[in-house]
Amino acid sequence: KQEVTQIPAALSVPEGENLVLNCSFTDSAIYNLQWFRQDPGKGLTSLLLIQSSQREQTSGRLNASLDKSSGRSTLYIAASQPGDSATYLCAGGDYGGSQGNLIFGKGTKLSVKP
Amino acid sequence: DAGVTQSPTHLIKTRGQQVTLRCSPKSGHDTVSWYQQALGQGPQFIFQYYEEEERQRGNFPDRFSGHQFPNYSSELNVNALLLGDSALYLCASSLAFPRGPRTDTQYFGPGTRLTVL
């Protein structure tokens, strides 16, 4: 059974700092790996999707990597801004071909101080 | 282009009652998935509907049931509510392969906050 873990649970950094969020999963047969952002009391916004055949994806200041052999993914945020403050969730896609259910970690709560 | 919408935004019920939550998928999408997110936790998969049938189900009791309509909108029903059912209920939509990519992101709605007293 796939399990997803995120470390750290919370992170506070000053504005402008580069940072890395970590995600680990137990089943290397993961179909894809997605990173989401969630603002307090809100729904999820998709940030990056990495297919199982890919190693990384980039969007603006965000870069996500996937290493299936070690069961790890990282989300790198460059030049952090106060607007980046949110909870970041990673999720493993567990069912091929039909965007089946996603297995989520508990998230990392990021606070970027001005 | 309308995204995923959910109603109501908030709901308060008492133990033992029944509740129905509603979801309209993103325009053009045909698949709806439901998730439960307890406070401080990641979302947990409840079930997924495609072509008006439940295609996949997570580890939730039969008190949780759903429906998908011909226009692809969906309902989540929870019977005999328990205090532990208090959570944010998220709906996500996607376009099934082969009409869509073999693997694609799911688009989430804003959620319905259910409080059971």
In this prediction, what percent of chain B has a pLDDT beyond 90?
79
Predicted local distance difference test score (pLDDT) of residue B101: 64
Partners of residue B113 in chain A, C-beta under 8 Å: 41
Cis peptide before B8 (omega within 30 of 0): yes
For residue A108, the Cα-to-chain-centroid distance in whole angstroms is: 9
Cβ pairs A/B, distance under 8 A: 76
CA distance to A60, A78, B47, B61, per residue, from A13 (Å): 20, 12, 37, 41
For residue A18, the Cα-to-chain-centroid distance in whole angstroms is: 15
Predicted local distance difference test score (pLDDT) of residue A80: 97
SS3 B83: helix
Partners of residue A32 in chain B, C-beta under 8 Å: 103
Predicted local distance difference test score (pLDDT) of residue B98: 65
Predicted local distance difference test score (pLDDT) of residue A53: 85
Predicted local distance difference test score (pLDDT) of residue A97: 43
Q: Residue A41 region, left (φ>0) first, then alpha (ψ -120 to 50), else beta?
A: left
Please tell me the distance from the alpha carbon of residue A88 to that of residue A22, in angstroms, as a whole number. 10
Q: Does A44 touch chain B (CB under 8 A)?
A: yes
Mean pLDDT over the full length of chain B: 92
- Six token digits for residue A104: 């989520």
Partners of residue A108 in chain B, C-beta under 8 Å: none
Query: What is the average pLDDT across B96-117?
Result: 82
SS3 A36: strand
Nearest Cα of chain A lies from the Cα of B18 at a distance, in angstroms, of: 23
Nearest Cα of chain A lies from the Cα of B113 at a distance, in angstroms, of: 8
Q: Does A30 touch chain B (CB under 8 A)?
A: no
B84 phi/psi in degrees, rounded to 5: -70, -5
Where is pLDDT greater, at B81 or A68? B81
Predicted local distance difference test score (pLDDT) of residue A93: 80
**Of residues A46, A97, A104, nearest to B105 (C-beta):** A46
Please tell me the distance from the alpha carbon of residue A110 to that of residue A8, in angstroms, as a whole number. 9
Question: Per residue in B15-50, pLDDT tens?
Answer: 999 999 999 999 989 999 999 999 999 999 999 999
Tens-binned pLDDT, residue by residue, of chain A (114 aa): 788 999 999 999 999 999 999 999 988 777 788 999 999 888 999 999 998 888 999 999 999 999 988 999 999 999 999 999 999 999 988 665 445 678 999 999 999 999
**Of residues A32, A41, A91, nearest to B103 (C-beta):** A32
